[in-house]
């Protein structure tokens, strides 16, 4: 989500990529290989209609972000982002960044991205963070901020991956929201954004002022915006991207928060449930046909803030 101004630059779509960047730059898929984040659950359901509430911090709907988990090839990564019309990068940042061996590559990546007019946010997250918010602030957030490299903070915590999610979900939910509160309190002027699965509207959470709410809404209240892991390779119809993301887009419109829709390109597995969540094995052109339909449908929601591609490695491996 774009919540602060960026230098203007020509918009490009994935369909306009002329040839394969891998061929042009001689970059192998292995060079950008990463361990992708967990895919969203394959729960299917119908959702409600859009709200008319205006979103004050929304980005143009043709903006696109990309997750970058491997920062070891900064030049190729930024060239890939430029060729794909990416406006924003979520770049993985290790703990203790200022003393990390990854700092030089990350600094190069950020500098090159900024020169290309691409916003860069610090990306981090682990399910264990929900139980260690003080550690996260001290050893991850503050070093990332002190580097002066990043425009914002982007977290991908996925608390449902903790063992306690099945045995004591209310505590995990409460701890996760406390983590977001502490990140926001220590982020200063840096906006904090979060990745969420599309089904968080079904998870109960206590509202800050009392009463019952849903986890997606409580996360939005604590952040500058969210990216929904709406991982489907069909845009329309039951259980398509637009169907499963409708609840989050509606909540974002009601709360005045921008909502990006994440799309997957990495290999998730060979079952039908896994294949429907990713564009792995598709061409970029065929994927773009679906993404244009997502853009067209989601634009009806005032909260819609564009797409996010997971991830740089998966996209780089696709053929035109």
Instruction: Count the residues in the chain.
Output: 320
Examine the pLDDT at 192 and tell me if it is beyond 60: yes
Q: What digits encode the pLDDT tens for the residues 254-292?
A: 999 999 999 999 999 999 999 999 999 999 999 999 999
CA–CA dist 309, 64 (Å, integer)? 7
Give the mean pLDDT of 211-228. 97
List the Cα angle 39/40/43 in 5-degree steps: 135
How many distinct helices (H) and strands (E) make up the chain? Answer: 12, 10
CA–CA dist 313, 80 (Å, integer)? 10
CA–CA dist 129, 177 (Å, integer)? 11
pLDDT for residue 47: 32
CA–CA dist 317, 261 (Å, integer)? 21
Examine the pLDDT at 176 and tell me if it is beyond 70: yes
Examine the pLDDT at 12 and tell me if it is beyond 90: no
Domains in the chain: boundaries: 59-316
CA–CA dist 12, 5 (Å, integer)? 18
Return the SS3 of 92. strand
Q: In sequence order, which residues have a C-beta less than 8 Å from that of residue 258 and are 6 or more positions away?
A: 1, 2, 3, 55, 57, 58, 59, 224, 225, 226, 252, 303, 304, 305
Q: 284 near 319, Cβ under 8 Å?
A: yes
Return the SS3 of 101. coil
What would the 3-class secondary structure string for 279-315 be?
A: CCCCCHHHHHHHHHHHHHHHCCCCCEEEEEEECHHHH
> Cis omega (within 30 of 0) on the bond before 311?
yes
List the Cα angle 41/94/1 in 5-degree steps: 55
Q: Which CATH superfamily groups domain 59-316?
A: Glycosidases (3.20.20.80)
Q: What digits encode the pLDDT tens for the residues 290-300?
A: 999 999 999 99
Q: 176 near 159, Cβ under 8 Å?
A: yes
Q: What digits encode the pLDDT tens for the residues 90-134?
A: 999 999 999 999 999 999 999 999 999 999 999 999 999 999 999
Q: What digits encode the pLDDT tens for the residues 230-262?
A: 999 999 999 999 999 999 999 999 999 999 999
pLDDT for residue 49: 34
Higher pLDDT, 120 or 53: 120
Give the mean pLDDT of 126-153. 98
Examine the pLDDT at 18 and tell me if it is beyond 80: no
Examine the pLDDT at 182 and tell me if it is beyond 50: yes
Q: 51 near 302, Cβ under 8 Å?
A: yes
Residue 24 tokens read as 């042009």
For residue 62, name the pLDDT band (cuts at 50, 70, 90): confident
Q: Please give the distance of CA 89 from its chain centroid, rounded to a whole number.
A: 9
Taking residue 189's Cβ as centre, other Cβ atoms within 10 Å add up to 7
pLDDT for residue 37: 33
Alpha helices in 51-153 (DSSP H): 74-83, 103-115, 133-135, 142-146
Q: What percent of the chain has pLDDT over 90?
A: 79
CA–CA dist 112, 167 (Å, integer)? 45
CA–CA dist 247, 199 (Å, integer)? 8
pLDDT for residue 60: 59
Taking residue 4's Cβ as centre, other Cβ atoms within 10 Å add up to 12
Examine the pLDDT at 57 and tell me if it is beyond 90: no
Residue 68 tokens read as 């970058």
């Amino acid at each position: 989500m774009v919540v602060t101004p960026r230098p203007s630059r020509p918009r490009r779509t994935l369909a306009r990529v002329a040839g394969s960047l891998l061929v042009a730059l001689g970059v192998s898929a292995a060079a950008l290989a990463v361990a992708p984040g967990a895919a969203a659950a394959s729960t299917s359901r119908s959702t409600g209609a859009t709200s008319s509430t205006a979103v004050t911090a929304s980005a143009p709907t043709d903006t696109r972000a990309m997750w970058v988990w491997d920062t070891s090839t900064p030049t190729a990564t930024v060239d890939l982002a430029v060729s794909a019309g990416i406006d924003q990068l979520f770049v993985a940042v290790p703990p203790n960044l200022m003393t990390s061996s990854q700092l030089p590559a990350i600094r190069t990546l950020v500098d090159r991205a900024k020169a290309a007019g691409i916003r860069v946010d610090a990306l981090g997250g682990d399910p264990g963070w929900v139980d260690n918010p003080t550690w996260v602030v001290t050893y991850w957030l503050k070093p990332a901020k002190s580097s002066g490299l990043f425009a914002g903070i982007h977290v991908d915590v996925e608390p449902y991956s903790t063992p306690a999610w099945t045995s004591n979900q209310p505590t995990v939910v409460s701890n996760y929201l406390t983590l977001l509160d502490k990140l926001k309190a220590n982020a200063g002027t840096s906006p904090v954004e979060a990745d969420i699965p599309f089904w968080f509207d079904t998870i109960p959470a206590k509202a800050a002022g009392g009463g019952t709410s849903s986890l997606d809404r409580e996360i939005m209240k604590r952040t500058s915006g969210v990216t929904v892991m709406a991982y489907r390779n069909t845009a329309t119809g039951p259980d398509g991207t637009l169907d499963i993301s409708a609840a989050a887009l509606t909540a974002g419109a009601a709360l005045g928060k921008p909502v990006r829709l994440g799309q997957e390109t990495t290999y998730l597995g060979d079952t039908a449930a896994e294949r429907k969540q990713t564009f792995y094995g598709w061409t970029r052109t065929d994927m773009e046909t679906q993404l244009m339909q997502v853009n067209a449908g989601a634009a009806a929601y005032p909260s819609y803030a564009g797409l996010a591609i997971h991830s740089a490695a998966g996209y780089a491996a696709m053929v035109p």
